[in-house]
Amino acid sequence: MNIPEYTPALVVAIPLLGAFLTPLVGRVNDKLRNIFVILILAINAMLVALLSYDVLVNGIQTYIFGAKDLSYPIVRILFEVDAMSVFMAIIGSIVLLVAVIYSWAFMKENTGLDKYYTLILLLTAGMLGMMLTGDMFNFFVFLEITSISSCALIAFRTDSAESIEAAFKYIVVSAIGALFVLFAIALLYGQYDALNIAALSNAIQYTFLDKIALVLLIAALGMKSGIAPMHMWLPDSYGKAPATISLVLVSATLASLYGALRVIFTLYGNVLSTISNSGIPLNVSIGWLIIALAVVSIIIGVIMALIQSDFKRLIAYGAVAEIGYMFLAIGTGIAALGTQYGETALTGGIFHIMNDAMDVGLLFLVAGAIYYSTKESSLNKMGGFARNMKYTTILFIIGFLAVSGIPPMNGFASKLLIYESTFMLNPILAIIAILGSILLLAIFVKVFYSAFMGPEIPRFKNVKEVPKSMLFAMGIIACIIIFFGLFPELVITNIVEPAKNALMGYSGYVSQIVGGGI
């Protein structure tokens, strides 16, 4: 099969074009606009699938915007797509497609939906751009596009004071984060006269300024991916945004996580395993730093989730714990670079990125479904929903079993890899990880009993099941969860392992640009 070389550009360009066409289409008809947005994202998902096929079969793909000839001063931007990028892009496009299908019925009663869909498409463009780009400054631009559009989406319900407050918190945090990313990029640019990730990685010396840049990049991207102690914006914005936006925000957050991975493994890949500071190798010190933050995230996430009474806020704290699991695995992978269990940890961590987006996303959608039917978000006032909403109940059971890592759901497959590999590094880490999972299970069983079981509450006597389109959207995610849980080997060998190899083998990423003469 012949896939055109400009596919990476199209993956970003189509949502961007769609974003600006949406208000025009919305003038004609609301239904037409919804179909148009779903169509745009479906086309985009197909393009991502084609691109993934191409990358997994033929290796790294590049697309050059600007000068192809090297004899002039080079003014150009590169898209460099490897297996890790397409892995993230697959997650992003599935999540976005599900979100717009769910929005059809869920957002029906809101006004200003033209803007809502425009912002969603802009966020898609920014998020996919972050994942596909091979240029640091371009990464910053897409990071800002993503944060601006997600902030506007968090504040979408402007009549609620809390959502405005959450949006303000989010924009301050992400603006500062993005500016520090830009400062770090400037530090690197000033030394090596390059913005391309591959060229920078090839030239990097690990000078004092590089250390500052590394710290700034990890701190800023870690803050944007919601790792403790920089997680405080996350429960607010996840909890107060509409449910579809919480789902989309999960994947936007994961894009920042991807940025952190790219910085550590590719940009500093050259020095990661060779440099050591006062006797401790660089990868060990970075790895243990990340592990420490991850453990704090898991503990804070589950403990704070225990005491929440708001459904979506509780899930958001669960999401903090899940972010902790990913960073725990990634930190173990970095600290044990070059060993067998280090690779297992990285595989588990990367697989968990996808599982987290699906599991937490499904729980947010269930919370949204309950809000849609009952206009109630406090767990204290819920009860007996299983009588009237049996499909939603089943979906919730699937979701919480997956989040707490119970077989046969997908969360089990990745968490098992994480337990195994962290045990090899330090048994205490595995104990904390398992304890976190058990607590998550306990929390969600409590939620299950208080919201779905129990006596019928007179106020909710006439609650109806949510519309079919919402059930369909949740059903897609539930199917993916069960499929991944039943056949984890299939997923791991086909997309997770190549992504891990792409991260570990930074030299392939570099030589594609620097040595290959592009």
Partner 1 sequence: MIFNIPYIAVVALILIGLYAIIFKRNLIKIVIGVTLIESGVNLFLITLGYRTGSVAPIYTSKPQGANIMALPVPQALTLTSIVIGVAVLALMLSLVIFIYRHYGTLDVKKVRRLKE
Which residue's entry shows tokens 């699906």? 358
Site stretch for partner 1 (CB under 8 A), options 125-133, 159-167, 283-291, 341-349? 159-167
Beta carbon of residue 203, minimum distance to partner 1 (angstroms, whole number): 16
Q: Which one among 5, 53, 110, 162 touches partner 1, defined by CB under 8 A?
A: 162
CA neighbor of 177 nearest in space, from 233, 234, 217: 217
90 within 8 A of 48, measured Cβ to Cβ: yes
Number of other residues whose CB lies within 10 A of the CB of residue 332: 32
Q: Is 65 in the site for partner 1 (CB under 8 A)?
A: no
Q: Which one among 98, 152, 314, 358 touches partner 1, defined by CB under 8 A?
A: 152
Distance CA(182)–CA(201), nearest Å, equals 17
x/- letters, 303..332, toward partner 1 (CB under 8 A): -------x--x-------------------
Beta carbon of residue 196, minimum distance to partner 1 (angstroms, whole number): 12
Site stretch for partner 1 (CB under 8 A), options 133-141, 279-287, 400-408, 409-417? 133-141
Q: Which one among 137, 206, 288, 472 touches partner 1, defined by CB under 8 A?
A: 137
Write the single-letter amino acid at 68: K
Site for partner 1 in 374-413 (CB under 8 A): none
CA 358 to chain centre: 10
Q: Which one among 144, 420, 465, 497 touches partner 1, defined by CB under 8 A?
A: 144
Q: Is 420 in the site for partner 1 (CB under 8 A)?
A: no
Q: Which one among 3, 9, 16, 141 touches partner 1, defined by CB under 8 A?
A: 141
Q: Tell me the helix, strand and coil percentages in the chain, rounded to 5.
A: 75, 5, 20
Q: Is 70 in the site for partner 1 (CB under 8 A)?
A: no
Distance CA(174)–CA(139), nearest Å, equals 14
Distance CA(248)–CA(230), nearest Å, equals 20
Q: Is 230 in the site for partner 1 (CB under 8 A)?
A: no
CA 387 to chain centre: 34
Site for partner 1 in 184-213 (CB under 8 A): 186, 189-190, 195
Which residue's entry shows tokens 């205490």? 428
Q: What is the DSSP string of 327-387?
A: HHHHHHHHHTTTSHHHHHHHHHHHHHHHHHHHHHHHHHHHHHHHHHHH---BGGG---GGG
Q: Binding residues for partner 1, per CB under 8 A?
A: 75, 137, 140-141, 144, 148, 151-152, 155, 158, 161-162, 164-168, 171-172, 175-176, 179, 182-183, 186, 189-190, 195, 236, 240, 310, 313
